[in-house]
Structure 1
Amino acid sequence: MSRFMHSTELNNDFAMFFYINFLTNFQYKTFDRTKMSIIQLDTDSLTLAIAGDSRDYTQAFDAIIKDHEFYNINNGFFFRENGKQKILGVHIEKQGYNCIALSLKNCIIIDEIVLKGVILDQNPQINERTFVNHIIIRTVTAAINTTLAQRKGLMSCLQMERNAITGSHTKLIVLPNQSCFPFIYRIKPDKYFIKQ
């Protein structure tokens, strides 16, 4: 018996359908996947590591397009044109030379920290050094969120402590031929063989 997704379930998550469509029908056919790795994928965001050519990081996808004809015909369905807004469209929000992604919604891109469920203004101990310490010596960092809540006319101050940076991460390592591979604890790049 084949499996299917009911139309009401599909309608509740157009963004995820769009990303699946973008990945399977455009990205995998157009881009050289040996030079691109997905760091994180959520319903409203996608972070990619791209091993391009010697130009700076503003080259976007130029260096990894393998089928230029297919790209030119279909890129209007997915990417914004001339800065116009596009519902469920793909656009580059941030780009830079490095990204540290420990897990979904838990990353640093161009010195901007993103941590899901953590109020960063209330937790100044979380910075780029905290991410690096986690990768090197596996430290776990806790965060305390303070919020106000009102119930039956009574205002309360709630403090919730949670682990902000924990043991999972999706760090990528770039090999000499500019391809990326996922970080595996205690396995160094010299253990990987590159087919010529």
Structure 2
Amino acid sequence: MHSTELNNDFAMFFYINFLTNFQYKTFDRTKMSIIQLDTDSLTLAIAGDSRDYTQAFDAIIKDHEFYNINNGFFFRENGKQKILGVHIEKQGYNCIALSLKNCIIIDEIVLKGVILDQNPQINERTFVNHIIIRTVTAAINTTLAQRKGLMSCLQMERNAITGSHTKLIVLPNQSCFPFIYRIKPDKYFIKQ
């Protein structure tokens, strides 16, 4: 138990170090918004240039010299594994985060702890049904495990979709802001 907490502390230190000493100094934060944040993952919305979504961070780098000197400390190189490294896992035009660990990028659904290939019942309609009628969706993960030389097929059932955060304020220009108690949409200003 103690080593697990220690590992999480190391990961948290790396994560905070990446955010404060690299991301905030390198990227234009006015063109970047955090969609979802977890102890081991970060989903960003990036307002880049007119190229397609594979541009990654190219259009929002504000200090190219600092980026070139320091990106090797954080990002993987040529697909090599790196302990506590940062890499782009998925990219797309649209990202919707319904709650923590639960987001859709384009038509690709990401749901932590659920093997989606084994659960075809989870699709975009499942998320919509959850928001509208509050259905709880179960998923079954099938994995192989070996113990004392004996291979077993394990099936674990878990609740896949249980909650969502639906309190967002959508402004006339389609920007979304979090719901804050006693703050009405007319208090938000859009810089034209």
Shift of residue 73 of structure 1?
Answer: 1.8
* RMSD of aligned residue pairs (Cα, Å): 4.7
Indicate the percent of aligned positions where both proteins have the same amino acid: 100
Q: 2:69 aligns with which of 59, 70, 73?
A: 73
Distance 2:72 2:142 in 1: 44
SS in 1 for 2:166: coil
Distance 1:67 1:92 in 2: 20
Count of residue correspondences: 192
CA offsets 1:46-89 (integer angstroms, 9 cap, x no match): 21111111110011001111222221221111112233332211
SS in 2 for 1:74: helix
After TM superposition, the structure 1 stretch with the greater mean CA deviation from structure 2, 63-72 or 172-181, is 172-181
Q: 1:154 to 1:54 in 2, by over 3 A?
A: closer
Q: 1:112 to 1:172 in 2, by over 3 A?
A: farther
Shift of residue 90 of structure 1?
Answer: 1.1
After TM superposition, the structure 1 stretch with the greater mean CA deviation from structure 2, 9-18 or 77-86, is 9-18
Q: Is the 2:31–2:48 contact (alpha carbons within 8 Å) kept by the matching residues of 1?
A: yes
Higher relative CO (CA 8 A, sep ≥ 6), structure 1 or 2? Answer: 1
CA offsets 1:149-170 (integer angstroms, 9 cap, x no match): 9999999999987653344338
After TM superposition, the structure 1 stretch with the greater mean CA deviation from structure 2, 10-19 or 153-162, is 153-162
Distance 2:82 2:156 in 1: 38
Shift of residue 123 of structure 1?
Answer: 4.5
SS in 2 for 1:12: helix
Give TM-score scaled by structure 1 length: 0.68
SS in 1 for 2:131: helix
